[in-house]
Amino acid sequence: MTAHILTLTTFLPLAGVIVLLAGGRRLGDQTTKAIALLTTVATFVISLVILGRFDSAATGFQMIERYSWVKSIGLSYLLGVDGVSLWMVLLTTFLMPLAVLASWHIEKDVRRYMLAMLILEISVVGSFLALDLLLFFVFFEALLVPMYLLIGGWGGERRVYAAVKFFLYTMAGSAFLLLAILFLYSKSGAAGHATFDLRSLMSVAGGLPAGTTRWLFLGFFIAFAVKVPLFPLHTWLADAHTEAPTAGSVLLAAVLLKVGAYGLIRFNLALFPEAAKYFASFVSVLAVIGIIYGAVCAIMQTDIKRLVAYSSVSHLGFVVLGIFAFTHQGMTGGVLQMVNHGLATGALFLVVGMVYDRTHTRQLGELGGLAGVTPWLAGAFLFAVLASVGLPGLNSFVGEFLVIVGTFSVSHWFGSLAAVAVVLSAIYLLWSYQRLAYGPVHEEHRGLPDLSVREVAILAPILGLILVFGVAPRLLTDKIQPTANAVVARVDPAHPRDAAPILAPAAAPAPGTAP
């Protein structure tokens, strides 16, 4: 069984899908939710086996599963995991049960809702594990459908507009991706062996002229930049986030956006290292603009979900900036920040959802004084806010710091401008906390219940991890590093770069002893 652990993790939710489909309407709403929860928890447990079997020292792909699928066109079913995708998969499987729990109050069409959630999990995990480009594309496109349904079916007032915008925007980006994939495929055919295998295509792409790889880079880049989202391709995000149901927002922010950043590392950097270097400053400029622009936009938002959405634009800018610094610290920090953002923003959306369930408003102007009425809920919100703000000791700080340090050694300007986000994030997030939790409480909000047991069960794991990864980020970085360093070395083979120069090691006294 463990030989097919990746397949098992990817398609275990399918079991839940089959049960739900077979059960049909006979299953009650509660049973349906329980089956979905059980399936996602089981998937998480199974995915822990991947973590257990993961070899931290290795740089290449591990636990590879390869079957020829459509021989005539060279399509194969090819899965593998490395230090980057490992955490993306675990983040997904970890958040899914929480998202299902957060959807417990859904009453409309529960069966379809849960089906969409489970299919979403399959396609997201699949995109993180697929090493065959066409297989990846299938998963990458497949995840749009359940998310489209979640937003359009269970979203807020402007849900249809948001869902269509989300779908079309990302589809438009994917068109370029498909073109680029097919072009590469044709080149591999010309080179003698038509294939979509990423590992073979890496050498195929290496043989192409620089101009061609740059165009191909852009093809991949547009698709992923929309997904990240990178300024100025971000406007679908605010609408989608705002209108999506709580679980949808959580998964959108925590997981779906990561597919974009992941794609940049997995495909853009791996396939076109030269082009990546060529476009590095261009991408970094976009990332820095996004960091500041997203933060500035977030300051003025009055809708709390919109505010968090714009904060995602800012935070994902950090991820991309770190990746395209091509230093060990930047790359590891960028990947780390992907996990951190998933947890911190996921937690924010979860808490905001709980606030909405109670008050039925997302407008900050209509909230206030919740610290007195629901102290634990407000406390949880503050905790998530502080994680997002990058308070040292919580997870995001380490990632942000590594990105800033890693970028700073390449460009003082980019590093310093990214640091400005430290102030801006404090402004918009603390201001939102102040408007939500402080001040006089609204009359109709008096007597709101504080966190229920179910909500504590949702928040405790995620907030706990935020603290754990803030104190012990090495739990993550030790597994990310070998892969991240290999990516950096591939892009910049001449000088494997470190942010820190090695000074003459002056005779520093050994720590732990009094000299």
What residues between 300 and 319 interact with another protein by CB under 8 A? 300-301, 310
Number of other CB atoms surrounding residue 449 within 10 Å? 10
**DSSP labels, 98-132:** HHHHHTTT--TTHHHHHHHHHHHHHHHHHHHHB-B
Copy the structure tokens of residue 448.
């709101």
Within residues 194-253, the interface with another protein by CB under 8 A covers 232, 234-236
Instruction: Give strand pairing partners of 303.
Output: 363
Figure out which of the listed residues 60, 206, 393, 449 binds another protein, where binding follows CB under 8 A: 393
Least distance to another protein, CB of residue 354, Å: 19
Pairing status of strand 62-70 against strand 75-81: antiparallel
Nearer to another protein, 111 or 165 (CB): 165
Least distance to another protein, CB of residue 166, Å: 12
Residues 98 and 37 sit within 8 Å (Cβ to Cβ): no
Least distance to another protein, CB of residue 308, Å: 14
Least distance to another protein, CB of residue 300, Å: 4
Nearer to another protein, 251 or 321 (CB): 321
Copy the structure tokens of residue 212.
């061609």
Query: How many angstroms from the chain centroid is the CA of residue 160?
Result: 24
Piece of 85-93, 185-193, 274-282, 403-411 that binds another protein (CB under 8 A):
403-411
| Residue 97 to residues 41, 259, 345, 451, 462, Cα–Cα distance (Å) | 6, 19, 16, 18, 11
Using alpha carbons only, what angle is made at residue 306 by residues 243 and 160, rounded to the nearest 5 degrees? Answer: 20
Rounded to whole angstroms, the Cα distance separating 427 from 433 reads: 10
332 binds another protein (CB under 8 A): yes
Give 68's DSSP letter.
E
Piece of 59-67, 105-113, 275-283, 384-392 that binds another protein (CB under 8 A):
384-392
Figure out which of the listed residues 34, 391, 456, 467 binds another protein, where binding follows CB under 8 A: 391
| Type of residue found at 12 | L
Nearer to another protein, 210 or 423 (CB): 423
Least distance to another protein, CB of residue 125, Å: 27
Within residues 138-197, the interface with another protein by CB under 8 A covers 165, 168-169
| Type of residue found at 457 | A
Nearer to another protein, 190 or 472 (CB): 472
φ, ψ of residue 44 in degrees (nearest 5): -60, -45
Least distance to another protein, CB of residue 495, Å: 13
Residues 294 and 312 sit within 8 Å (Cβ to Cβ): yes
Least distance to another protein, CB of residue 66, Å: 32
Within residues 452-511, the interface with another protein by CB under 8 A covers 471-474, 477-478, 481, 485, 498-504, 506-509, 511
Nearer to another protein, 372 or 461 (CB): 372
Least distance to another protein, CB of residue 202, Å: 24
57 binds another protein (CB under 8 A): no
Piece of 64-72, 134-142, 352-360, 398-406 that binds another protein (CB under 8 A):
398-406
Within residues 281-300, the interface with another protein by CB under 8 A covers 293, 296-297, 299-300
Give 303's DSSP letter.
B
Figure out which of the listed residues 285, 438, 467, 489 binds another protein, where binding follows CB under 8 A: 438
371 binds another protein (CB under 8 A): yes
Residues 252 and 362 sit within 8 Å (Cβ to Cβ): no
Figure out which of the listed residues 329, 340, 395, 483 binds another protein, where binding follows CB under 8 A: 329
Number of other CB atoms surrounding residue 430 within 10 Å? 14
Least distance to another protein, CB of residue 442, Å: 12
Rounded to whole angstroms, the Cα distance separating 143 from 99 reads: 16
- DSSP element (H, E) containing 65: strand 62-70
